Chains A and B, each alone.
Chain A
C-alpha cells in the first residue's frame, strides 16, 4: 500500500505550487510533497518574467515581446508565449498582486537602491514604483543593517529616478534588541502590540508613525523595509498612511523575506482551496519504476521510507541552490530520478574565468520535450509519466535574465496541465 494520488508534485516552490494548483483545477487528485518549507521564504516576493535578455540587454520593457528572440532551448520557447500569458492569468487569479494591467515591466526599487524590472509586485510595494514621480522618503532602522536607507536613496538618485529621494535612519520604537527578527517587528505591527516610548506604553503602529513624522519633510511617499506585518499587512500599511499622511510602501528585502512568506501562505491557501493535499518536511529519496513508468516514490522520515504512488509525477525540486540539481567534482546530476543533465566533462568548463562572465553552470538543468518530459542523453523520454518544471530545467540563466518566477509559473502551469490530462 501507499499514499495515492493522481498527480504527485515534488517540490514546494513557485513551480511546484503552480503545477499542483493547475492540476487540481483541472480536476486531478493532487498531492504536493516538499523536503523543506517553500523556497519562497528566500524570495523577494517580486514576480519577474524577463528583465534582461540573455545577452544582458535591458531592462526589458515588454517581456512578452522579448521572449520571441530567445534561443530555442529556453523554457519560454518550449511552452510558448501565449501559454506564459495563460499561466500568469492563473497567478493573478489566486493572488492580489499588481502589474496585471499591462504587459510592460514595472520598475521596483530594491533594498540595495537598484531598480528592478518586474512583471508583478505585491500591493504593498505599489506606492514605491520608480516610474511614479512623487518624492520619496526611505526609512531605515538602526538595527536592520541589510537596509541602509541613505545609501539606497543615493543609489536610486544615481540611477536617475524621476523624483527626489532621501533616506533617514530611525530607531524602531521600543528599543528592541539589535538583532531582533523580522517576525518580531511584523508581529508587533500586526497586533499593534505595546512598545515603551520614554517610559510610556504605546501601540507599535502609532509609535512608529510618530517617529517617522519627526524626520519626514514633504515627501508624498514613505518606504520601509519589508517588515510591515505578516497576517494583517494591509491594515498595518493603512494605519501608517493615516498617521503619517503619505502613501506607504515596502521595499523588498533579501532573505528571510516577509513578502516571500506572504506569497507562500497565499499560494498554499489557494492549493488548499483547490482540494489538493500537501506535506512538507521530508525528502523524496528513492523510487520504483516499471520500465519507463514511475510507480512509487519514497519519502524518507528518519530512516522510514514512506511510499507515495501516483499516476503522473512533476519534478519541481529547484536548481543548484534549491538542491534539485547537485554537483560534485566529477559530475552534475539530478538526485531523485537521475535524469540526464548535459555538462562539460571537465569541471573547468563549467564556469567562466570572469566572476560576472557567462557561466555555463547557471544554465545547467534537465532538457525536456515540448510537454516538459525530461530527456536522456540520446533525446528519448526518461520516464513517460514524469514532467519537470522551474529551476530544475536547463537552458536559461534566471539570475542574469531575471526570469526565475516567470519560468517557474509558466512551466509549472504546463507540467500541471499535462499531468492532469494524462492522469487516469
Chain B
C-alpha cells in the first residue's frame, strides 16, 4: 500500500474498508500546481473532445481529455513528465466543462497545466512568451492607448507598424485593432457624478415605480477593460438600465478580470489583478451589493476561474454573488414582460444575428438573449448556431493561430450571412471583433438593445 493510509478493520470475507479509509487519499496534500481535481471521475467517454473547437480544425491538438485527466495520469507515472506544449493551443473556451457528464473540472485542469508549462518550461527570454504577455495584459496597453485614443486607433492599425509586429512579435496583421473611445467609461462616470449621482437617479426612479425610496437595490459594476476603453456605450447602457429598475450602481476600483492571462498561462499576472478585484468586490458584497458584469468572460472569471485557481480571502463570497447583467435582471425583475410590452425604433430597430459566446454558454446563458428579445416589437433576433467564434480572446491574435481561428469561425460567419439581419449581437467583446472581422457587420451588445427597449 506504500504511502496510502492503512485501512482499518479490514475483513476480506465481508468487504469493509472501515469508516476512516478514503481510498482516493493516497497522494500527499501539496500547495503546488495540481492537475488532479476530478481526474478520477473521468471515465474516458471523450464527449469533451466533441465540444472542442480547436480539435475540430487542428491536427496537432490532442483535445481536452488529453490536456486534463490524461496529462495528470502521465505525471503520476513518470516523474520527469513535462507538460505537453500542445496545452498552449487550448483557447480556453471552456466548452469541455459543460460537456463532461462526470463533472470533471476540465478547464481548471487546463489552466493549471498551462500555468505550470509557462512557469517551468517556457523560456522567459522567448519572444513568444513576451508576445503572449503583452497580448494578455491588454488592460495595460489599452490604458496607455486611451490617453491618446485617436492616435492609438490610427497607430495600432498603421500598415507598416502591423507588418513589423507580425514579423517580430507574431501578432497577426490580418486583424484590425479595436477603436479606442475618446472618453472612457470611468471618465464619463466621474463626470456624471459617480456613485452619488447613481444613488440619486435610483431613488428618484424608485419613487416613480412606487417602491420604497430607500429600497435595498444596489449593484457593483465590474465593467472590465473593454467596455471602459472601447465599447463605452455598453457600460452606459448597463448603468441606465439598472437605474431604470431603481438600482444604485457603483463602479469600484478594478483591474483586468484575468481571462486573457488564464488563456496564456500567466497565472501570476492574473492573481495580481484578481486580488485587487476580489478585495474591492468582497467589501461591497459585505455591504449588500451584488457584483454585475456585462462581459461574459469577466463574469465567468469571477464566478468560476478565481475560486478554482486562487485562494484569496473573500473569493467564494464574490463568486457566489456575481451575475451577468441581464441574468440578474431576469431573476429579480419582470424584464421579460417589460420587453414584451416594449417596442424599439430608430437605430436599434434591426434584425440581429446573435452569437452566444462560449463563456456565456458555460454560465447557462446561451439562450438568454434570444429568448428575451424574440417577442420584442420592432426588432428581431436569430441565433446563428452553436459554433465557437474562433477568436477566443488572444488566440486569434496570434499569427500562428490566425488561420485556425478563422476556420473555427467559418461556420458562424456562414450562419450570420444566412441570417436575416446584417447586424450582429453578442455579449463578448472579442467574439464581436471576430464577427465583425468575418462578416463586416456592425455588432451590438444585448444591453444596448435592452436600453433602447425599456429606457425612455
Contact = CB atoms under 8 A, between A and B. Distances in A.
A258 B51 CA distance: 11
B363 A301 contact: yes
Interface string B69-112: 00000000000000000000000000001111101000000000
Nearest to A39: B101
Interface string A270-305: 001000011111100000000000000001011110
Nearest to A185: B56
B201 interface: no
A131 interface: no
A301 B303 CA distance: 8
Nearest to A322: B101
Interface string A163-184: 0000000000010110111111
A1 interface: yes
B316 A303 contact: yes
A232 to B, nearest CB: 10
Interface stretch (B132-140, B228-236, B318-326, B441-449): B318-326
B49 interface: yes
Contacts of A183: 49-50, 52, 55-56
Nearest to B317: A303
B422 interface: no
Interface string B113-140: 0000000000000000000000000000
B320 A36 contact: no
A187 B56 contact: yes
Interface stretch (B208-216, B327-335, B391-399): B327-335
Contacts of A42: 45, 47, 101
A37 B332 contact: no
A310 to B, nearest CB: 14
A268 B100 CA distance: 19
A176 B101 CA distance: 27
A180 B303 contact: no
A8 to B, nearest CB: 14
A203 to B, nearest CB: 15
B331 A306 contact: yes
Interface in A221-272: 231, 255-256, 258, 261, 265, 272
Contacts of B320: 302-304
A256 B49 contact: yes
Interface stretch (B57-65, B145-153, B181-189, B255-263): B57-65
B351 interface: no
B49 A302 contact: no
A184 B367 contact: no
Contact of A256 (B46, B321, B383): B46
Of A261, A272, A279, most buried by chain B (CB within 10 Å of CB) is A279
B330 A3 contact: yes
B263 to A, nearest CB: 19
B364 A41 contact: no
Contacts of A279: 364-368
B319 A302 contact: yes
A39 B8 CA distance: 39
Contacts of A323: 101
A2 interface: yes
B319 A256 contact: no
A304 B323 contact: yes
For chain B, the bracket of interface size reads 35 or more
Interface residues of A, number: 43
B37 interface: no
A392 B11 CA distance: 35
Contact of A303 (B103, B319, B367): B319
B364 A282 contact: yes
Contact of A181 (B56, B100, B333, B334): B56
Nearest to A3: B330
Contacts of B411: 231
Interface in B375-427: 383, 386, 410-411
B91 to A, nearest CB: 15
Contacts of B386: 265
B59 A184 contact: yes
Contacts of B62: 177, 179
Given A302-B307, A302-B320, A303-B319, A181 B331 contact: no
Contacts of B368: 279
A112 interface: no
Contacts of B97: 281
Of B55, B320, B363, B364, most buried by chain A (CB within 10 Å of CB) is B364
A36 B316 contact: no
Contacts of B55: 180-181, 183-184
Contacts of A281: 97-98, 361-364
Contact of A36 (B59, B101, B327, B367): B101
Interface string B325-351: 001001111100000000000000000
A37 B47 contact: yes
B304 interface: yes
Contacts of B49: 181-183, 256
Contacts of A191: 410
Interface string A183-196: 11011000100000
A56 B153 CA distance: 72
Nearest to A179: B62
A282 B111 CA distance: 21
B371 interface: yes
A27 interface: no
Given A261-B50, A279-B364, A36 B98 contact: yes
A182 B50 contact: yes
Of B319, B331, B362, B410, most buried by chain A (CB within 10 Å of CB) is B331
28 contacts: A3-B330, A36-B98, A36-B103, A177-B60, A179-B62, A180-B59, A181-B50, A182-B50, A183-B56, A184-B55, A184-B57, A255-B45, A256-B45, A256-B50, A279-B367, A279-B368, A280-B366, A281-B98, A282-B363, A301-B364, A302-B303, A303-B303, A303-B319, A303-B320, A304-B320, A304-B321, A304-B322, A307-B331
Given A42-B45, A258-B50, 7 more contacts: A37-B47, A179-B63, A181-B56, A183-B52, A231-B411, A302-B320, A303-B320
Interface of A: 1-3, 33, 36-37, 39, 41-42, 174, 176-177, 179-184, 186-187, 191, 231, 255-256, 258, 261, 265, 272, 277-282, 299, 301-304, 306-307, 322-323
| A-B pairs with lowest CB-CB distance, top 5 | A303-B320, A281-B364, A302-B303, A256-B50, A279-B364
